[in-house]
Amino acid sequence: MWYAIYARDNPDSLRARSAARPAHLARLHALRDEGRLLLAGPLTAIDAEDPGPAGFAGSLIVAEFADLGSAHAWADADPYRAAGVYRDVEVRPFRKVLP
């Protein structure tokens, strides 16, 4: 089943986000390579493709996991969590309808 992982960043977390980004992306690439990643990306803090020093407000990941517990475990192990980037993370079942 698909699960949406919605994470909100702590204030002033851009430096920590940048430092943890390679490890964070490696985990997303692994999901992609397994055919389990529907989408992933940051939520910008301002209405701009490149938010510059304004940074990011959070992240959205939609990926396939065996169950809700597995999705939570994966989200809890995210390098952004360990680095203190995320203020909180919500994991919810997601039903893809379109396209």
Say what the pLDDT of residue 4 is.
99
Give 17-73 pLDDT, tens digit per residue: 999 999 999 999 999 999 999 999 999 999 999 999 999 999 999 999 999 999 999
Say what the pLDDT of residue 98 is.
95
What is the spatial distance between Cα 47 and Cα 44, in angstroms, rounded to a whole number?
7
Q: How many helices (H) and strands (E) does the chain have?
A: 3, 4
What is the spatial distance between Cα 77 and Cα 12, in angstroms, rounded to a whole number?
21
Q: How would you list the strands of the sheet with 37-44, edge to edge?
A: 37-44, 56-64, 2-9, 86-94
- Cβ of 71: how many Cβ atoms within 10 Å? 23
Among 46, 75, 50, CA closest to 60? 75
